[in-house]
Amino acid sequence: MDIQFSDADLAFRDQVRDFFKEHFTDELAARLANPKTFKDAIIEWQKVLANKGWIAPNWPVEHGGTNWSTAQEYLYERERAVAGVPDVLPFGLKMVGQVILAFGNEEQKQKFLPRIYSSDDWWCQGYSEPGAGSDLAALKTRAVRDGDDYIVNGAKIWTTYAQYADWIFCLVRTDPEGKKQSGISFLLIDMSTPGITVNKIESIDNYHSLNEVVFDNVRVPVANRIGEENKGWTYAKFLLAHERTAIAEVAKSGRFLSELKAIANTEISGGKSLMEDTMIQQRFANIEIELMALEYTELRVLSGFAEGKGPGPESSLLKLKGTEIQQAIQQLRMDLAGYYSGVLQGELSSSELGHEFGDRARREYMYGRAATIYGGSNEVQKNITAKVVLGL
């Protein structure tokens, strides 16, 4: 791995910085933070990125990729985190888009990739089922061939943003016999097809991002199957490695840690700043050391991308440590906010008490519980690491 910043890299960094300053306005940030305006705002922002040509850096150049070096990709992510710019929605650009690029046929590439790139289609991920989360290969949603179509029956659960989605990519069982991994296929399903119902699931943070998606005799053209029938497990695993790399959010954790330092330096307790407490200093130091180590793992993965390698088992390590660090930061934010983080929603908010970061501390802590579950739980990542990395 060789990562050095040339003058051209630093000029690129300034270009990214200026672009975010000009286009990512406070007004847009406010609309993104509001659940009522989130959908339109994120599409608007992704279109700005697409027009600039920066929406899908890792795609091949002929499909709109940037061909950035590892250094450029690293600098882009740094600047994005510092400016508080959200990551793009992963389901189209970082998940199914990568699968279509790697395993889709020419017709599928022509049909789906441009609309993913322009954010004209909103995608969601139909992997998990009530009885198939960690043991994903146990999935039961059934697809039975009927001429040029499959008839799909079953249910997916925890489907993020299915309520907005135009399309869902699904793992379905096309062969119930034999080894469970070998009877799965990968289908692209239009959410407006008759027989699909989306049921809302409200999460602990009172936010609606999760859903159950039920399929009742849903007709899906065979032309919407990626690759071969019963080979879906191979494509599914490829996608999961991309998902885990995206979850690590190293640069964002770095920004949050800087924000917390500023708070710890200014908040006074017992006549001293919180930062003067040696226990607090130690917690900052521990998180910072872990984050630095993770940053190097991320760079290894990024330089692997630059050499044309896909993410390997390191993506499990990135997911595991990345989410542990995110939760350590969320816990620290709660502790720094103290009583103010305990004010309940629907009652007086901490902002009304002149302490707005208490609300944020609680909200991020609540949603943050999910990070060690989604994308494959951390216990399962430990199993993968033990087997594939350590050979146990």
Ligand X SMILES: Cc1cc2nc3c(=O)[nH]c(=O)nc-3n(C[C@H](O)[C@H](O)[C@H](O)COP(=O)(O)OP(=O)(O)OC[C@H]3O[C@@H](n4cnc5c(N)ncnc54)[C@H](O)[C@@H]3O)c2cc1C
Q: Which of 129, 243, 314, 364 is catalytic?
A: 243
Residue numbers 125-144 binding ligand X by CB under 6 A = 125-128, 133-134
Rounded CA gap, 215 and 175, in Å? Answer: 18
Which part of the chain contacts ligand X (CB under 6 A), choosing from 77-85, 231-239, 256-264, 376-384?
376-384
Q: Does 117 bind ligand X (CB under 6 A)?
A: no
Q: Does 169 bind ligand X (CB under 6 A)?
A: no
Per the annotation, the verdict on 228 as an active-site residue is no
Q: Which residue is nearest to ligand X (CB)?
A: 133
Query: Rounded to the nearest whole angstrom, what is the least distance from the CB of residue 65 to ligand X in the complex?
Result: 24
Query: Rounded to the nearest whole angstrom, what is the least distance from the CB of residue 197 to ligand X in the complex?
Result: 16
Rounded CA gap, 294 and 384, in Å? Answer: 18
124/155 with CB nearer ligand X: 124
Rounded CA gap, 349 and 335, in Å? Answer: 17
Q: Does 211 bind ligand X (CB under 6 A)?
A: no
305/374 with CB nearer ligand X: 374
Rounded CA gap, 331 and 136, in Å? Answer: 30
353/388 with CB nearer ligand X: 388
Q: Does 379 bind ligand X (CB under 6 A)?
A: yes
Query: Rounded to the nearest whole angstrom, what is the least distance from the CB of residue 211 to ligand X in the complex?
Result: 9
Q: Does 383 bind ligand X (CB under 6 A)?
A: yes
Query: Rounded to the nearest whole angstrom, what is the least distance from the CB of residue 335 to ligand X in the complex?
Result: 23
Which part of the chain contacts ligand X (CB under 6 A), choosing from 118-126, 268-276, 278-286, 346-354?
118-126
Helices 314-337 and 232-247 cross at an angle (nearest 10°) of 40
79/243 with CB nearer ligand X: 243
Tokens coding 267:
């908040």
| CB of 170 closer than 8 Å to CB of 218 | no
- Binding-site member from 103, 112, 117, 158 for ligand X (CB under 6 A): 158
Tokens coding 217:
């005799």
214/373 with CB nearer ligand X: 373
- Binding-site member from 160, 193, 327, 331 for ligand X (CB under 6 A): 160
Which part of the chain contacts ligand X (CB under 6 A), choosing from 23-31, 232-240, 293-301, 379-387?
379-387
CA 383 to chain centre: 21
| CB of 216 closer than 8 Å to CB of 197 | yes
Q: Does 376 bind ligand X (CB under 6 A)?
A: yes
- Binding-site member from 221, 230, 370, 385 for ligand X (CB under 6 A): 370
CB atoms within 10 A of CB 370: 17
DSSP for residue 312: -
- Binding-site member from 377, 384, 386, 390 for ligand X (CB under 6 A): 377
Q: Is 225 helix (H, G, I), strand (E, B) or coil?
A: strand
| CB of 261 closer than 8 Å to CB of 275 | yes
Q: Does 247 bind ligand X (CB under 6 A)?
A: no
- Burial call 152-175: b when 16+ CB within 10 Å, e when fewer: bbbbbbbbbbbbbbebbbbbbbbe
Give the total of residues touching ligand X (CB under 6 A). 19
Query: Rounded to the nearest whole angstrom, what is the least distance from the CB of residue 157 to ligand X in the complex?
Result: 7
Query: Rounded to the nearest whole angstrom, what is the least distance from the CB of residue 392 to ligand X in the complex?
Result: 13
- Of 327, 261, 248, 260, the closest CA to residue 295 belongs to 248
Burial, 336: exposed, middle or buried (Cβ in 10 Å; 0-12, 13-18, 19+)? buried
CA 230 to chain centre: 27
Q: Does 198 bind ligand X (CB under 6 A)?
A: no
Please state whether beta strands 149-157 and 225-226 pair in parallel, antiparallel, or not at all (unpaired): unpaired
- Of 90, 133, 181, 211, the closest CA to residue 378 belongs to 133
Instruction: Give contact residues for ligand X (rule: CB under 6 A).
Output: 124-128, 133-134, 158-160, 210, 370, 373-374, 376-377, 379-380, 383
Active site residues: 243
